[in-house]
């Protein structure tokens, strides 16, 4: 079925708890959760528990932790230069093996537990994607094979992170893409629940590895989760949240490190539920979370003539090179000249800088092009920001009290982001976490 036609209206009201019997459930296990044979055995025991409780289980595993990095590292040793489409194709061919191995190991572990199980690579399902190697988008998922196996009483394992394009080439969905595979499978199958098992026990006010005082959120609205993911919280890949919103997939983030044999209803209620109803959040804090991102770099085109078409000439050339731009700022002009700055992903930085230095700046008569990779972006997110004033200024005050200089600012209805020097990132996140009372238990 194409995902475009699989809108699951019955999901709109969210999942019922305790989980109804004979539900169709998708479990996703991240790399750390699949990180050793011992952990895979634990995953198998947990999955078998759910299946024995009468549910139909589709499991989407990530590669064992470190494996994707290891594989891509080997490729880099052989081809450190800039990427080409041909090389990207092979990177996908390579990286997809990580999930193929972990999926087969999980099937073997389930069989050893006495639970019938079969694993499929993306191309076997098939999960059809476009041809954008290393960042492909899912277009459709054929659920027939999965349904037949479920009907035969098997647990079905589908590799995360990968698919196949229209010409039969293996593709991958971008780092962290197994989340997206899981939610897309859940959407295509109209699953009752998609449970994302990871190495933390839910979505926190900020990354608990950076701020130990961070608190787990019992619920987080879909819109907030979307902003947090897009601003850098890697607990869910952004596309998985987009899918969940579009198809109203009941989505929960929870820990794979609880004992596998805990009560199933207790487990089903743990972690963080992504909600689609805003009023559930009405009583909660104005700012729900803080996200940060070290993956961007800043480029400034200095001393460009301030005349119509400048932004288009600079950013048009960047867009044509298929480079995404995030924050943009143009300074006030002085003596008819202005400075134009924007951020790109660090992976695209060298390419963007070369392009601007070699082609765009000379054509515009710009003075120089300056690059800075030592920046980071810190964002506050909360749907309460819609109805409260002064939130951004409170953010700026907290940063100024720490002596942190703000280089760029961007806002949306429910988010304010700043670009600052990378070395102040943790300080900024901690200061903001405190300033917005996120260390305090919710009222
Ligand atoms: P997995 O391998 O299970 O997909 P990831 O490493 O991709 O796990 O994502 C989980 C990690 O996300 C956590 O270990 C945590 O460090 C990080 N993280 C970042 N922001 C948050 C947040 N707001 N809440 C919870 N975890 C977060
Ligand atoms: N294994 C892939 C990665 O490391 C996908 C994932 O874990 O979600 O990015
Ligand atoms: Mg992940």
Q: How many CB atoms lie within 10 A of CB 18?
A: 11
Confidence of residue 284 (pLDDT cuts 50, 70, 90): low
The preferred substitution site among 202, 234, 289 for testing ligand 1, maximizing ligand atoms within 8 Å of CB, is 234
The strand order across the sheet containing 368-372 reads 325-330, 337-345, 296-305, 368-372
| Of 279 and 378, the one with more pLDDT | 378
Q: How far is the CA of 403 from the centre of ligand 3 (A)?
A: 33
The preferred substitution site among 207, 216, 252 for testing ligand 1, maximizing ligand atoms within 8 Å of CB, is 207
List Cβ neighbours of 239 (8 Å cut-off, separation of 6 or more): 137, 173, 174, 177, 179, 180
pLDDT in tens, 353-371: 999 999 999 998 999 999 9
| Of 18 and 39, the one with more pLDDT | 39
Antiparallel, parallel or unpaired: β 337-345 and 296-305: antiparallel
Residue nearest to atom 11 of ligand 1 (CA): 235
What pLDDT is attached to residue 416?
96
Query: Can you say how many angstroms the Cα of residue 67 is from the centroid of all Cα atoms in its chain?
Result: 19
Token pair belonging to 167: 């010409």
Q: Is the CB of 63 under 6 A from ligand 2?
A: yes
Count of alpha carbons within 13 angstroms of residue 50, beta-carbon side: 30
Among 101, 63, 93, 91, smallest CA distance to 170 is for 93
What pLDDT is attached to residue 11?
37
pLDDT in tens, 79-129: 877 678 899 999 999 999 999 999 999 999 999 999 999 999 999 999 999
Query: Can you say how many angstroms the Cα of residue 289 is from the centroid of all Cα atoms in its chain?
Result: 15
Question: Of 7-11, 105-109, 214-218, 276-280, where does mean pLDDT reach its minimum?
Answer: 7-11
The DSSP-derived string for 358-427 is IIIHHHHT-SEEEEE-SEEEEEEE-GGGGS-SSHHHHHHHHHHHTTPPP-EEEEETTEEEEEEEGGGHHH
The conformation of residue 36, written as its DSSP 8-state character, comes to S
Q: How far is the CA of 436 from the centre of ligand 1 (A)?
A: 21
What pLDDT is attached to residue 126?
98
Count of alpha carbons within 13 angstroms of residue 430, beta-carbon side: 11
Among 166, 117, 120, 160, smallest CA distance to 140 is for 166
Among 158, 13, 139, smallest CA distance to 96 is for 158
Q: The whole model's pTM is what?
A: 0.91
Confidence of residue 278 (pLDDT cuts 50, 70, 90): low
Q: CA–CA separation, 439 vs 211, rounded Å?
A: 9
Ligand 1 pocket, CB under 6 A = 30-33, 62, 176, 198-200, 203-204, 206-209, 233-235, 289
The DSSP-derived string for 206-240 is S-TTT-TT--B-SEEEHHHHHHHHHTT-TTS-HHH
Q: How far is the CA of 174 from the centre of ligand 2 (A)?
A: 8
Q: Is the CB of 161 under 6 A from ligand 2?
A: yes
Q: How far is the CA of 31 from the centre of ligand 2 (A)?
A: 7
Query: Can you say how many angstroms the Cα of residue 267 is from the centroid of all Cα atoms in its chain?
Result: 23
Q: Is the CB of 176 under 6 A from ligand 2?
A: yes
Assess whether pLDDT exceeds 70 at residue 5: no
What pLDDT is attached to residue 89?
96
Give the number of the atom of ligand 1 that is nearest the alpha carbon of residue 228: 23
Assess whether pLDDT exceeds 80 at residue 15: no
**Average pLDDT in the chain:** 92
User: What is the mean pLDDT of the segment spanning 402-430?
Assistant: 96
pLDDT in tens, 306-336: 888 889 999 999 999 989 999 999 888 888 8
- Map residue 289 onto helix, strand or coil: strand
The strand order across the sheet containing 117-120 reads 117-120, 155-158, 56-61, 24-29, 193-198, 251-255, 272-275, 219-221
Residue nearest to atom 2 of ligand 1 (CA): 30
List Cβ neighbours of 222 (8 Å cut-off, separation of 6 or more): 241, 244, 245, 274, 275, 276
Residue 354: burial class (beta carbons within 10 Å; 0-12, 13-18, 19+): middle
Antiparallel, parallel or unpaired: β 337-345 and 368-372: unpaired
Token look-up 């009468």 returns: 54
Token look-up 């094979």 returns: 145
Q: CA–CA separation, 202 vs 193, rounded Å?
A: 16
pLDDT in tens, 259-274: 999 999 999 999 999 9
Query: ω into residue 126 within 30 of 0, thus cis?
Result: yes
Q: CA–CA separation, 351 vs 317, rounded Å?
A: 12
The conformation of residue 442, written as its DSSP 8-state character, comes to P
Give the number of the atom of ligand 1 that is nearest the alpha carbon of residue 290: 23
What pLDDT is attached to residue 332?
81
Q: How far is the CA of 310 from the centre of ligand 1 (A)?
A: 40
Among 143, 201, 194, smallest CA distance to 2 is for 143
């Amino acid at each position: 079925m194409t995902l475009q036609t699989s809108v699951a209206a019955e999901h709109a009201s969210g999942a019922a708890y305790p989980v109804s019997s004979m539900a169709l459930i998708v479990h996703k296990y991240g790399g750390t959760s699949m990180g050793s044979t011992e952990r895979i055995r634990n995953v198998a025991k947990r999955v078998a528990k759910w299946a024995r409780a009468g549910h139909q289980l589709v499991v989407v595993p990530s590669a064992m932790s470190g494996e994707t990095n290891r594989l891509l590292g080997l490729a880099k040793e052989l081809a450190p230069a800039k990427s080409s489409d041909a090389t990207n194709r092979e990177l996908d061919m390579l990286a997809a093996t990580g999930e193929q191995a972990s999926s087969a190991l999980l099937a073997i572990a389930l069989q050893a537990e006495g639970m019938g199980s079969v694993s499929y690579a993306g191309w076997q399902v098939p999960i059809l994607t476009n041809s954008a190697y290393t960042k492909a988008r899912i277009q459709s998922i054929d659920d027939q094979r999965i349904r037949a196996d479920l009907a035969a009483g098997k647990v079905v394992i589908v590799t995360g992170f990968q698919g196949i394009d229209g010409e039969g080439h293996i593709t991958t969905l971008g780092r962290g893409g197994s989340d997206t595979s899981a939610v897309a499978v859940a959407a295509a199958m109209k699953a009752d629940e998609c449970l994302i098992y990871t190495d933390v026990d839910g979505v926190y006010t900020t990354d608990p590895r950076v701020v130990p005082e961070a608190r787990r959120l019992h619920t987080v609205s879909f819109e907030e989760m979307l902003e947090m993911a897009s601003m850098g919280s890697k607990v869910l890949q952004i596309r998985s949240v987009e899918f969940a919103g579009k198809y109203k997939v009941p989505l929960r983030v929870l820990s794979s490190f609880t004992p596998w044999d805990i009560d199933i209803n207790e487990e089903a209620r743990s972690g963080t539920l992504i909600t689609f109803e805003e009023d559930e959040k009405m009583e909660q804090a104005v700012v729900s979370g803080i996200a940060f991102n070290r993956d961007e770099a800043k480029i400034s085109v200095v001393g460009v003539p301030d005349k119509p078409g400048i932004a288009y000439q600079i950013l048009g050339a960047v867009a044509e090179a298929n480079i995404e731009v995030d924050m943009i700022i143009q300074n006030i002009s002085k003596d008819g000249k202005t400075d134009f700055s924007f951020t790109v992903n660090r992976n695209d930085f060298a390419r963007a800088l070369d392009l601007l230095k070699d082609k765009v700046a000379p054509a515009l008569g710009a003075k120089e092009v300056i690059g800075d990779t030592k920046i980071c972006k810190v964002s506050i997110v909360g749907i309460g920001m819609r109805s409260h004033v002064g939130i951004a200024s409170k953010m700026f005050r907290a940063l100024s009290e720490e002596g942190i200089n703000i280089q760029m600012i961007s806002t949306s209805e429910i988010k304010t982001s700043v670009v600052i020097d990378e070395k102040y990132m943790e300080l900024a996140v901690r200061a903001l976490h405190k300033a917005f009372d996120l260390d305090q238990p919710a009222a």
